[in-house]
Amino acid sequence: MSEIEELQGRIVAAMQRIRTGLDGLGPAVDAPEPGLAEALEEERLANAQLAERILSLRARHDTELATLKKEIEAQSDAMARLDMDVQRLRQANDQLRDSNAQLRAANEEGVGAPDLINKAMLAELEALRAARAAETAEAGAILARLQPLLAAANSTLANDTDEEDA
């Protein structure tokens, strides 16, 4: 029994020390100061607004990135067409030079060669078609580059007009 009494005495002494320590702390804080609650609510609101802004910026970034990818793809396609047409033009010009050289050789020999004349005319027609296709492809490449710039300018103009109306 003496052990139980000893333990009981130690528990009572510990509780007394706790009570003394609590008394030294002063009155208990039940509610935060009113200003702190308002500040906390303002911070929560600001945090929510920032989170919304981040989502908005992320969405706009994704949209702009998708648009940029489409523009790059369109420009790449236009450049590929231009390259193809330039190669075609070079081949047509090579054929034209060969035909003209053969025609000059036939004329020097005094031999009239209608098949060479026809071949030269066909080569010249092909060269003209290839030149036209190259010009069209070049104009397409220029348009592919200008379209995003024009769209951005129209968007800026529309935004400026909307701000003036507000």
Calculate Rg over the CA atoms of the chain: 43
**Rounded CA gap, 90 and 96, in Å?**
10
> Higher confidence at residue 166 or residue 122?
122
Residue with structure tokens 């935004």?
159
3-state per-residue secondary structure call for 59-91: HHHHHHHHHHHHHHHHHHHHHHHHHHHHHHHHH
What is the per-residue pLDDT for 129?
85
For the chain, the domains span 70-153
Which structure tokens are listed for 132?
A: 């036209």
Res. 49 pLDDT band, cuts 50 70 90: very high
What is the per-residue pLDDT for 57?
92
Residue with structure tokens 């994704």?
62
Residue 148 has pLDDT above 70, yes or no: yes
Using alpha carbons, select from 66, 128, 65, 57 the residue that is nearest to residue 95: 128
Max CA separation in the chain (angstroms): 144
| Burial 122-137, CB ≥16 within 10 A → b, else e | ebbebbeebbebbeeb
Mean pLDDT value across residues 28-52 = 81
Task: List the single range of 24-38, 40-54, 145-159 with lowest mean pLDDT.
Answer: 24-38
Question: Do the beta carbons of residue 96 and residue 130 sit within 8 Å?
Answer: no
Question: Do the beta carbons of residue 78 and residue 133 sit within 8 Å?
Answer: no
Question: Do the beta carbons of residue 92 and residue 126 sit within 8 Å?
Answer: yes
